[in-house]
Amino acid sequence: MAGFLDSFRWPECECIDWGERRNAVASIVSGVLFFTGWWIMIDAAVMYPSQEQMNHAFHTCGVFSTIAFFMINAVSNGQVRGDTYGEGCLGRTGARLWLFIGFMMMFGSLIASIWILFGGYVTFNDYTLYINTELFVTSMNIYISFFRICK
């Protein structure tokens, strides 16, 4: 039962050759998701400008997700594997450590946004659900956009 989908293959569309355009399409989709995530957070900040309506410290989840997004995409696969000609600053170990810290920041900010979503919704039942949902959707879009770039 474990390998019943091993021989399954989706039918391929013969009208478009996705092999050559895969990286371009992935970059465009990733950019749109990243932009949409921040646009949602900016919308929440504009709709609820006061500190009483929306705690502005909640923006740190999106900021840390963005920093982690750039940290993860700054390291190439060759640097992690050690296939580059130059070792760089810290070599393969430094690239792996940098990548690990980026992943931890990304997952930490995603978990923090989930915590804020459910913590805010359980404690308050008025307009905070919309704000907390926007915060979660922002972090989730940034997370999906970084996942889309990382093959």
pTM of the entire structure? 0.75
- DSSP H stretches of helix in the chain: 18-47, 59-73, 77-81, 91-123, 128-149
Residue identified by tokens 């478009």 is 16
AA identity, residue 7: S
Q: Where are the domains of the chain?
A: 23-47+56-149
* Sequential pLDDT tens for the chain (151 residues): 556 667 767 676 666 666 677 777 878 888 898 899 899 989 888 988 888 878 888 888 889 999 998 888 888 777 777 776 666 677 788 888 999 999 999 999 989 988 887 776 666 655 667 777 888 888 888 888 876 555 5
Q: State the Cα angle at 102 between 109 and 23, rounded to 5°.
A: 105
AA identity, residue 111: I
